[in-house]
Amino acid sequence: MSIDVTLSASARTNLSALQSTAQALQVTQSHLSTGKAVNSASDNATAYFASQGFLQRANDLSNLKNSLATSLQTVTSVNQSISDVTSVVQQLEGITTQALGTTDATTRAGLASQFNSLLTQLDLLVNDATFNGTNLLNSTGNTLVVYFNEKNTTALTITGVNITHAGLNISSAANAFASNDNINTAGSLLLTALSTLRTDAANFGGNATLIQTRQDFTSNLINNLQNASNNLILADTNTEGANLQALQAQNSLGIISLGISGQLEQSILRLF
C-alpha cells in the first residue's frame, strides 16, 4: 500500500523560501569568488557585452602600445647613432686642426690618411645603424611609419636621412692636405656637416617625443577602458559580504521554520 505524503501550505511556503535563499546564496558566493557581479551574458547581457567591447579595444591598443614601444626604440637608436657620427665628425675636425698646425708635408699626408680612414669608419657606423630591419641614416628613401590607433588611420611617417660622408658632403682629404686651402675647405665642409647632424638630431628627437606622448596617451586610454569594463561587471565585495551574512542567517532561519512546520503537523496528527 502506498502512502502519499503531502506538505502543508506553511511547509511549502517555508521550503520555497529556503530554495530561493539557497539560490541567492549560490549567486552571492559566485560574486565573491570571481569578484564579478556579471560573469556571463545571462547575468546582465547589456553590461556583459559592453564590458567585452571595452576589453577588446583595450587588448587591441595593448598590441599597438607594443608597436609604439618598438618604434620609439628605433628612433632613440637613430638619435644615438647620430650622436656617434657627430663624434666622428668632431674627430675629423681635430685632424684638420692638427694639419693646420704643421707645415711638414709628411705629417700632413699622415693626417690626411687618418682623415680618409675615419671617413670609411663613419660610413661603416652609419650602415650598421639598422634597428628592427630599418636604417634611417643611410638613405633618404627609407621611411618608418608609426601608427597611432588600432585602425591604422592616424600615423606618423618618419623619413630617413643620409649621413654617410657622401650624404654629408664631406670629401676625402684633397691633395694629401698639402696646402692650407685644402685643409680649410675640408674644415668648412665639416662645419656644415655638424650643422646638418644637429638639425637631424633635433628632428628625430621631436619625433621621439611625439611617439612617447602617443604611447603615454595609449596607456591612459587602455587604463580607462579597463576601468570602464570593471565598473560594469565587478562586484562590490563589501555589499556582497554583507549579503552573504544576511542570506546565511536567513537560510538558518528558513531551516528552523521548516522544522517547526513539521513539528506542528506531527502535533496535530497525535490528536487523532
pLDDT tens readout for residues 220-258: 999 999 989 888 876 555 555 566 555 565 555 555 555
Same domain, 187 and 246: no
Same domain, 144 and 272: no
Same domain, 107 and 180: yes
Q: Name the more confident of 207 and 33.
A: 207
Same domain, 77 and 169: yes
Same domain, 189 and 258: no
Provide the domain limits for residue 265: 237-272
Q: Name the more confident of 30 and 176.
A: 176
Model confidence at 30, pLDDT cuts 50, 70, 90, reads low
- Does some domain include residue 242? yes
Sequence-ordered list of residues with C-beta below 8 angstroms from that of 153, at least 6 positions apart, any chain: none
Same domain, 71 and 112: yes
Beta-strand (E) ranges in the chain? 143-147, 155-159
Please give the distance of CA 149 from its chain centroid, rounded to a whole number: 12
The pTM of the full predicted model, rounded to 2 decimals, is 0.76
Same domain, 99 and 184: yes
- Written as one letter, the residue type at 166 is A
Same domain, 216 and 271: no
Residue 8 gets which letter from DSSP?
-
pLDDT of 86 above 70: yes
Computed from CA positions of residues 263, 265, 267, 269, in that sequence, does the dihedral angle turn out positive or negative? negative
Same domain, 115 and 242: no
Same domain, 114 and 150: yes
- Does some domain include residue 266? yes
Backbone angles phi, psi at 175, to 5 degrees: 55, 35
- Does some domain include residue 116? yes
In the chain, the number of structural domains is: 2
